[in-house]
Structures are given as C-alpha cells and as structure tokens.
Amino acid sequence: MKRVPVNKIIPFSSVDGPGNRTAVFLQGCNFDCRYCHNPETRNVCRDCGECVKSCPSGALKLGESRVVFEPAACVSCDACIHICRYGCSPRIRNMTPEEVMEAVQKQVPFIRGITVSGGECTLYPEFLTDLFVLCKKEGLGTLIDSNGTLDFSEYPELTAVTDGVMLDIKAWDDEEHKKVTGVSGVVVRKNALELASAGKLLEVRTVVVPGLFDCEETVRETARQLRPYLAYGNIRYKLIRYRKIGVREQYAVVCRSPSEEMMERLADIVRSEGLDDVIVI
Ligand code: SF4
Ligand code: SF4
Ligand code: SF4
C-alpha cells in the first residue's frame, strides 16, 4: 500500500467528533482558503532543505534526496514552518494504513473511534478505505473531517466503512465559494445532500468571516437544504468565529472577526430553518 503523508496523530481528542477519539491529520489540501488557520498543512514538502538549518534541536536532517524528520528530537518550536516558503511542513511521516493503525492500537480500549482530518484527508481515498476497514475490525467508529471535494458517490467502499462526515460549507453560492477557497463548491453541495440522505452527514461547519462572503445567505441556504434530511439522522451546524490566529499575513488584513451579535443572529437563522442542533465556537 502506498504511504501517505501524516502531519500528526493526536492519541486522545475530545474536539474531533463525539466521544474520545484518536485524530489523524494528513498533509496536503486542494483548497486555498483565505482564512486557513493551518496553512502549513496545504502542501507536501518539496525537500528543498531550507528549513533544516532553522531547527534548533537537530530534529531535521538532510538525507540523500530528502529531509529526514526525527520526531523524538522535535521541540515543537515551529521555526521550520515559519521559514518554509511553500506552505508545508517537514514534520511529516509517510505511513501505510497498517502503520497508522499500529499508532491507534494502544488507545483502542479508551476511545470510541478515530477521526481523519487534514489538510484534506480525502485526497487519499484508498488509504482512508483501508484504514477504516482495519478500524472496523477493532470495533472503532470512523469519521472524516473534509472540505467535501471528493465525490463520495464515486467511492462506495469508502462511504460504506465511514460512519459519518463532518463537512465544511465555506460558502453556498459558487462564485463566493471560489472567492473564499479558489475552487468550485459544486461537489461539496452534492456531497452534503447525498451524505445527509444516507444519514452520514454528522456535522456541517461554516467559518464566519464578515465581508468575505454572504454569511447569512450561506447559513440560511445550507440549513434550508439540509432540513428535509433530518429524518435520516441528526445534523449539527457548527458556526466557527473567524480569528486571526495562524492565518497568512496577506489575508489577515482582508478578513475580520464577526461580532457576538452576528454569531447569535446566524445561529437563530439556522434554528429558524429547522436545524436545532447549532453550536457557536
Ligand atoms: S480546506 Fe482547510 S486546510 Fe484546506 S485551505 Fe481550507 S482551511 Fe486550510
Ligand atoms: S518544509 Fe518547506 S522549507 Fe522545509 S524542506 Fe520542505 S519545502 Fe523546503
Ligand atoms: S518544530 Fe521541530 S522540526 Fe521544526 S524547527 Fe522546531 S524542533 Fe525543528
């Protein structure tokens, strides 16, 4: 099985889906969101070697043709991430599904399941399918945190072993979606409705950035479109307040944070469209 770049594995997380879970973050993303809080997860390392000398602890070394990362020596100072010009991180381990499962194994008695996130984890659908098959053998739940650009209808084996998807709705209108992410949202909206009709849409999330897109229209239209599918399973709407933390400087000046009143108004709109499970963070 081909290895995929793993950015990090958090053994115990209570914020990546219901219950206690192991969260696995894969490297690489096909979006370029103006407000991305983890821009270093978007691209895969080019092994240019420029960050090696910035490492204060010897955790990075130049191998024959690539940068070698020693996790045990890393002091998590983020110097390498700040110096990288390509929006990536050298702190990557290329792992097979079996190797990731080995890292999950120790937690099995204490967790409800795993959540795979990114970057954008659905760039690696075969890896996800194989990993989730291994999880199912251990009785673990399987969730995906996604920007929604993989057409799930074309991957029935993956959908079958996935318990639920937590899906970003960056903007409902397609021109606005392109403005926010650089990419069309046609497949995202298709996924939202199809996953909801299969009872596999656990949560939708919208990052609220006033002025960047029409937040009210996105929230209203998303809730309105999803409401008919509540009969197949609960759908939570998570409204995420934009904060400047971690964002790239060129976008920090064009994005602003919403007020408390705005967040409450959006939550009210979601409820008025029939989705009662709304949280604001
Ligand atoms: S989808 Fe997520 S990881 Fe990718 S650019 Fe957008 S915010 Fe960043
Ligand atoms: S993380 Fe960036 S700076 Fe470091 S080797 Fe990779 S591409 Fe070069
Ligand atoms: S985050 Fe880790 S690998 Fe990167 S520079 Fe700091 S110690 Fe080195």
Cα gap 158→138, rounded to integer Å: 17
Domains and CATH numbers, the chain: 4-40+93-280 (3.20.20.70), 46-83 (3.30.70.20)
Per-residue model confidence (pLDDT) at position 1: 64
What pLDDT score does 244 carry?
A: 84
Question: 3-class SS at 99?
Answer: helix
- Residue whose tokens read 């996953």: 195
pLDDT above 70: residue 271: yes
* C-beta 166 within 6 A of ligand 1: no
Specify the ligand 2 atom closest to the Cα of 49: 5
Q: Is the CB of 140 under 6 A from ligand 1?
A: no
State phi, psi for 89 to the nearest 5 degrees. -135, 140
Looking at every residue in the chain, the average pLDDT score rounds to: 94
Which atom of ligand 3 is nearest the CA belonging to 78? Answer: 1
Residue of 66, 67, 74 to mutate, ligand 2, most atoms within 8 A of C-beta: 67
The arithmetic mean of pLDDT across residues 14-19, rounded, is: 92
- Closest Cα to residue 11, out of 1, 2, 24? 24
pLDDT digits (tens, 9 = 90+) for 196-207: 999 999 999 999
* Predicted TM-score (pTM) of this structure: 0.92
pLDDT for position 247: 79
Question: Which ligand is nearest the CA of 5, by number?
Answer: 2
pLDDT in tens, 40-98: 899 999 999 999 999 999 999 998 888 999 999 999 999 999 999 988 999 999 999 99
